[in-house]
């Protein structure tokens, strides 16, 4: 999976980088709903990591409802975003927003700069179907 890039010098665990990279690929439609993802063995070989590392990332993505596992058939991108209770979705968004705000502040960015970057990132993931729902 050439679109997945790992930084082996980063303090971020490799499994977390794989998880985040897969989320980006799904959000950008590079991995479309219902499509198969590489097998654990194939992705581990391609990324030159231990298969257990890929298993952990895939398991977390499956637990989050991003991927679905069909025993004996493989792992696929879920057909639809996970159905979360509003409170759980809000909690997840708050936690991610807190991490982003802390990063922006630690880099000396203003709230306006951080908001502009978030808005630009959001637009890179937007699809026509999402715009119509808004």
Q: What is the pLDDT of residues 31-70, one digit of tens each?
A: 999 999 999 999 999 999 999 999 999 999 999 999 999 9
Q: What angle do CA 83, 3, 46 make, to 5 degrees?
A: 105
pTM (2 d.p.): 0.73
Q: Are 37 and 54 in contact (CB under 8 A)?
A: no
Structure tokens at 2: 């050439």
Q: What is the pLDDT of residues 2-42, one digit of tens each?
A: 688 999 999 999 999 999 999 989 988 889 999 999 999 99
Which residue ranges make up each domain of the chain?
Answer: 14-77, 86-133
The rounded distance, in Å, linking the Cα atoms of 11 and 81 is 29
Structure tokens at 111: 């709230």
Q: State which H helix or E strand residue 126 sits in.
A: none
CATH 1.10.10.10 fits 14-77, yes or no: yes
């Amino acid at each position: 999976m050439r679109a997945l890039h790992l930084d082996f010098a980063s303090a971020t665990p490799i499994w977390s980088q794989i998880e985040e990279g897969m989320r980006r690929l799904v959000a950008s439609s590079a991995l479309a709903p219902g499509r198969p993802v590489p097998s654990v063995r194939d992705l581990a070989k391609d990324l030159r990591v231990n298969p257990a590392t890929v298993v952990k990332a895939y398991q977390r993505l499956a637990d989050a409802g991003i991927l679905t596992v069909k025993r004996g058939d493989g792992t696929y991108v879920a057909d639809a975003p996970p159905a979360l209770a509003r409170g759980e979705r809000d909690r997840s968004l708050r936690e991610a927003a807190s991490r982003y705000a802390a990063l922006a502040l630690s880099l000396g960015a203003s709230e306006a700069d951080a908001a502009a970057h978030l808005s630009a990132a959001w637009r890179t993931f937007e699809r026509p179907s999402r715009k119509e729902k808004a």
